[in-house]
Structure 1
Amino acid sequence: MRMPQLPQLKRMTPAIGVVLKLVSRFNYHDGKKTASALTYTTLFAVVPLMTVIYSMFAVIPSFDGVGQQLQTTVFAQFLPSTGETVLEYLNEFSGQARNLTSVGLIFLFVTSVLMMITIEGAFNAIWQVPEGRKGLSSFLMYWAVLTLGPLMLGSGFLLSSYLTSLSFFDSAASMLGGKAVLLRLLPPLLSAVAFTFIYAAVPNCKVRLRDAAVGAVTTALALELAKAGFSFYVTQFPSYQAIYGAFAAVPLFLLWVFLSWCIVLLGAEVAAWMGERSNADWHRWPPFWQTLGAVMLLKDAHERGEPLSDDSLTEVLGSRYRRVLKPLIEENIASQTQDGQWVLGRDLNHYTLWELARALPWDLPAGEAGEAPHPRLEPLREALAQARQAEKERMDCGLVEVLPSVGEVESGSAHTGDPLPTNPSSTSSMAT
């Protein structure tokens, strides 16, 4: 029997490769371990976050009732048989939290900020950023996410309510299959907008809006699929109720939060990979060559009398450029101006390749022919090859020549010093 031809499989091969690449990145960055840590943090931060959101919406009269609507929508179809129980608990806890004093509210806000710090650390690891924000910039970013994120979602709910009250909405909804279908599309759209904002703002590096949007759409769609699958499992296989009984809501809640964080981190991997993919020529270079390439860019900009912007470095090195610049900043080769531009910080005529090689945390490349990733770096490759050859010639000797025997040491024909013990027993006898 002749095997059928599968041209579709060949077309699917790149897609399968992308999925495997993203899964590999997720595992490399300890995605499951990070999701577990974020799940643990969420248990302590979910009530403070809800309290902060409620308090913020209560200040704005136009958003009256939006907080409850936002919470209800987020938990809609969350856990079909136990979601109402979880929602009742959270409502009760957040209601009690709103009666706290100012000191208690400050503590709740600090708890929310600590969760943001954990999220930023996870995102910085995915984007390979060496360090997070510090000082006022970190506080402003956390404040923006905690305030603008819910406000964007709340505005979306108000806009959807306003649109549904207009007459032309009915005609537009009928063209798309009915009002219910159109309203069903609003939650994932709002989720995509919110995740776009998070992926673009949280990492301590420049993330292009297009890359953040691709990761956000992936996250929103994956969450919808996961929610459908989770709902199917809960309704069709209720064996968990026989095991946990009235406490069934707790393990299901933890499982869903863990799964949600895995999807959010995977969406971040998509956004980071999109940024690296657009810089395929340079991001495949070893870190040593990337650093020399950054020095080359700084030198060219210095000769033109122009600074380098974050966007210029991102276009070439991707979001990991801060990791590459870190040793250059420590050596004062790269310096940042007050307006955030990058310039050459010292005279390269008085700085040697040897000094740079010792300052870099990465191993020197071997320097074989054809290894230089850029034609302008070919002289550097030749210098490395000559250094490697000289090192090889200097060390091209037998170990017997550099490890003299005990007799040679005692006779003074070799470098004198404490003789090595000939067996372990001699060491123990000397110790006694």
Structure 2
Amino acid sequence: MRLLVLQSLFSLACTPVIATSLVVEGANGVSYIGVRDDGLNQDIFQGIPFAKPPVGSLRFNPPVAWAPSATPATINATTLGPSCYQGTSSITSVSEDCLTLNIRRVSNSNDGKLLPVMVWIYGGGFYNGDVTGYTGRLLLPKAASLGNPIVYVSLNYRLGVFGFPPGQESVNAGAQNLGLKDQRMALEWVHNNIAYFGGDPNKVTIFGESAGAISVAYQTMYNGGNIDNVFQGAIMQSGSPSSRNTPAPSNAARELAYNFLINATECANTSNTFECLRSAPIEKLSQANRDVLTVPSEFRSLDQGPVVFGPTVVPGDSFLPAKPADIIHSGKFAKVPIINGVQLDEGTVFAGNVSTTQDIVDWLTSTRPGLTFGITDKATVQELLSYYPDDPTAGSPYGSGTELFGRPAQYKRLSSIVGDLLFQSSHRDHLRTATNLGVNTW
């Protein structure tokens, strides 16, 4: 890696520190201007485009690889790019032009050798999430102190209606699982370019949490497991292949969500509702993207999470041509080493406020659209309950005795059930299946 060092003044956390500008000369005549933060002793490159802005005719299309309009070209990678549009309004710096990635490394840490690379994929239910809380700033010095310095990469991918538009009309237009395709394109960019930044393209580990962990699992399923060596390891934190429902595009919740979106954007009476959505004003579409999760009553009962936005099973899809569990059991995934871990009390975040056993039955069997569960066989639910005693000392949070933490009497019992349904069962199934297929697992 060739660095041209220029003196400049850089501000971090409102405290002026002396820093140096760095120029990395990449492939095809493209140069990247980054920053060496002398206070952190880190080289930082941010907001690097890996795909063309998915705007105009590219909205709701698979990502198109970024290429310079002319060469030589210079990318100003000194500031973080905007986040992708969210399901909430809490993140204000958002844009459709969000398909960028960020690179960090400890300064002068490679001694001329290419370093292992870790690529972070954020979570957030596939409708929220960004990189701002996951800069790698603390991970880098820890890795270096252990004698294993790394190059850290974080990436953006489209969320909500922009990355996972619901309904059969979306699939008919080829717009399924766009966010997963964004992730894949970013990984291809890393594979082709990370060596210019001191990273080893043959030592790339992808990792993520929650929906990010599920995304990691889906990336191993790309093209039936033929991932073209764009990564060589995978870490899943609180998420496994079958942790989340992947309903068909025609699922009632997704069709209801699509109808809500076209009504909210005044597209319902047009001859081609999907193309109308593609050209809808961003203000209307982004507002509808937020409102669909909070306004319709179908999507907000019983404290369960919505499934209207997120990956979907579509025959012939490059990621999910079948249900994730079926793909894993058939062995059609990349046999890279994996770490898959969950917390002990995952269910406490997702369990509803239930007071009686009947409340639990109703919660688990609710079939209202937009909900995570909806177990229709009540006999199965009754058998399930027999394995979870009506005893708060046996519930989650585990090891907390009779303490209810101000919650209703059945909360800890349901937390235990939900933790197993969403996390423990899929986690164990994934590890057991992969191990039986000869994969190194932890």
Comparing both structures, which one devotes a greater share of its residues to helix?
1
Comparing both structures, which one devotes a greater share of its residues to strand?
2
Mark yes or no: TM-score above 0.5: no
TM-score class, shorter: under 0.3
What is the TM-score of this pair, normalised by structure 2?
Answer: 0.24
**Greater Cα radius of gyration, structure 1 or 2:** 1
What is the TM-score of this pair, normalised by structure 1?
Answer: 0.25
